[in-house]
């Protein structure tokens, strides 16, 4: 990999190893780097307390059985909060921050099975919630972006922040 990166930097600088400019080499290196990136296997951590777990559970508890866009907007808010100087710096701390997520504060965060409220202590997000969380986290880890502009740090059934919009599912996404 180091050799590939070193030769890539030479070619990307416009010179091949022989000191000559080779247009075809530049294209080949870009293709090799793109192939390496798409071949990379992402291993998600679905264990209790992982970032994936917190986002998947929050999506289930806050957005339930809504559409994908709504679920991903909901999962974007805590990620935007992590990036904001006004909130804690980890997903766990953002979700567990007192008086921020009603479904966490009142215990509903832990009381769903496959998207249905239950009285048992068992909790497991749906496969759909896991996929939504993993897509969001993948984008966030790679680019630092979410499905909402970074200013959107509020999500509620009531207006919060200085502006925002109502979703078709009755949630308000607000910005500060």
pLDDT in tens, 38-95: 444 446 787 778 899 899 989 988 888 889 999 999 999 999 999 999 999 999 999 9
Does 40 or 169 have the greater pLDDT score? 169
Beta bridge partners, 116, equal: 113
Most confident of 58-72, 98-112, 140-154: 140-154
Token pair, residue 40, equals: 């990379």
Q: Would you say residue 98 has pLDDT above 80?
A: yes
Average pLDDT over residues 99-109: 72
Task: Report residue 123's pLDDT band, with 50, 70 and 90 as the boundaries.
Answer: low
Average pLDDT over residues 116-121: 52
**Which domains are delineated in the chain?**
2-39 (no CATH), 51-175 (1.10.10.2520)
Q: How far is CA 145 from CA 51, 63, 85, 165, in A?
A: 16, 20, 16, 19
Q: What is the pTM of this model?
A: 0.69
């Amino acid at each position: 990999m180091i050799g590939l990166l070193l030769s890539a930097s030479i070619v990307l600088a416009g010179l091949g190893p022989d000191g000559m400019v080779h247009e075809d080499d530049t294209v080949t290196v870009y293709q090799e780097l793109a192939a390496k990136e798409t071949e990379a296997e992402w291993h998600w951590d679905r264990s209790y307390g992982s970032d994936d777990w917190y986002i998947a559970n929050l999506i289930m508890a806050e957005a339930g059985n809504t559409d994908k866009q709504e679920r991903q907007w909901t999962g974007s808010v805590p990620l935007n909060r992590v990036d904001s100087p006004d909130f804690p710096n980890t997903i766990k701390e953002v979700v567990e921050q007192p008086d921020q997520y009603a479904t966490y504060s009142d215990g509903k965060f832990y009381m769903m099975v496959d998207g249905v409220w239950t009285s048992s202590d068992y909790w497991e997000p749906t496969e759909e919630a896991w996929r939504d969380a993993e897509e969001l986290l993948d984008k966030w880890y790679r680019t630092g972006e979410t499905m909402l502009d970074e200013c959107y740090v509020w999500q509620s059934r009531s207006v919060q922040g200085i502006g925002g919009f109502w979703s078709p599912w009755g949630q308000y996404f607000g910005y500060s």
